[in-house]
Every structure is written in C-alpha cells, then in structure tokens.
Amino acid sequence: MAKTYSLPPLPYKYNALEPHISEQIMTLHHDKHHQAYVNGANAALDKLEKARAGAMQVDVRGVLRDLSFNIDGHKLHTIFWPNMAPAGKGGGKPGGRLADKMDQDFGGFDKFKAQFSDACKTVEGSGWALLLYDREIDTLVLTQIEKQNFMHLAELPILLSADEWEHAYYLQYLNDRAKYVEAWWNVVNWDDVAKRFDGARK
C-alpha cells in the first residue's frame, strides 16, 4: 500500500497572525486549501499504484502533473506556516549569519526586502516568491513560481516562502496584493528562516 501525506497542524492558533492575516483566512487556507493539496497528492499516488498493479488505466502524464502540483502545494505550505510567527513575535529584521549573508549578497536587509517584495507583487497570476540558498556558489537566490508545478530551482533548499495565491489574502485585502505583502512582513519568523539557512549550509 502506498504511503500517504497528511496535513501538518499549524504551529500557532488560527488567530495568532491577526491583525495582519485574519483568522478566517488562516482557517480556510490551512483546513481547506492545504488539505486539498494533501488529498490531491494522495489521490495521484493511489492512481499510480493501481496502474502499476494493473487495476486501472491512467494518463500517466496527467497524473504526474497532478502529483507535482499537489505535492508542491503541500511542501510549500509546510514551509510557509512556520516561516510565520504570531503577531508581536515575528517581523523586524534577521540577525546573525543570515543578516551577514543578506548584507553580502543584497547590500543589506532593506535592499533584500525591497527586491523580495517586488518578487511577491509581480508573480504572474497565482504563485509564490521564494528565497533559496545555493551552496555551490554560496549565495542567496530569489525566484518566483507561477502556480505550483516545477516547484523551484533544482536542489536549492527553500529558506523563505511567500504565498501569493489569492486565497492567502483576498478575503482581507481584496485584490490589493501589495498591501498584503506589506502586512506579511510583520509576521515573518526570522528564527525559522535562519534555522533553515544554517541547515542548508551544512
């Protein structure tokens, strides 16, 4: 029997990010949207297993695309939730080695924040903005994802993920993605990002 994915619990209460991200958004985002990606990934795995056993015919190309989309949605959200911290505990600036690296690669935190914000605001349609680390050349890398297929640059670990799908902000900010991005910076969990950075460098 195929192994299955499961929905991880939020690392804080649904209302913990208010007023920057509402309880209503967090409940729907986690319980409905993230759960749908988990269900979709498991359904695709089940189809592939049945096809291998000769129990059903499948469009392998289509199922693999569904699998990619849903696993990517699950994995990205699993990073996104702990990348944020309750209001009053998140936001501000990173410190330590991560801050030093941002100074080296971006010319300072403010320049990083401005460029990452632009990446968030200019994702075409629905997608993500990501901060990655490339150990081959020891540098931080920004990228965007349209939708969720073909998740990110191969092998580069994700340090910071920002969800730019409308379900992440529409109920509170309507179509004003820029206002959502500005508010999101208040809940970024730099301790989590720094931990991922330290792990990626090992």
Q: Does residue 100 register a pLDDT over 80?
A: yes
Where along the chain do the CATH 3.55.40.20 domains lie?
Answer: 96-201
Instruction: Give strand ranges (E) for 52-138.
Output: 127-134
- Across 38-63, average pLDDT: 88
Between 103-107, 124-128, 156-160, the lowest mean confidence (pLDDT) is in 124-128
pLDDT at 158 over 60: yes
Q: Which CATH class is domain 23-80?
A: mainly alpha
Output the CATH code of domain 96-201: 3.55.40.20
Q: For 44-57, what is the mean pLDDT?
A: 85
Q: Where in the chain is the domain with CATH 1.10.287.990?
A: 23-80
- Residue 195: which H helix or E strand, with range? helix 190-201
CA distance 8 to 81: 9
Would you state the pLDDT for residue 1? Answer: 53
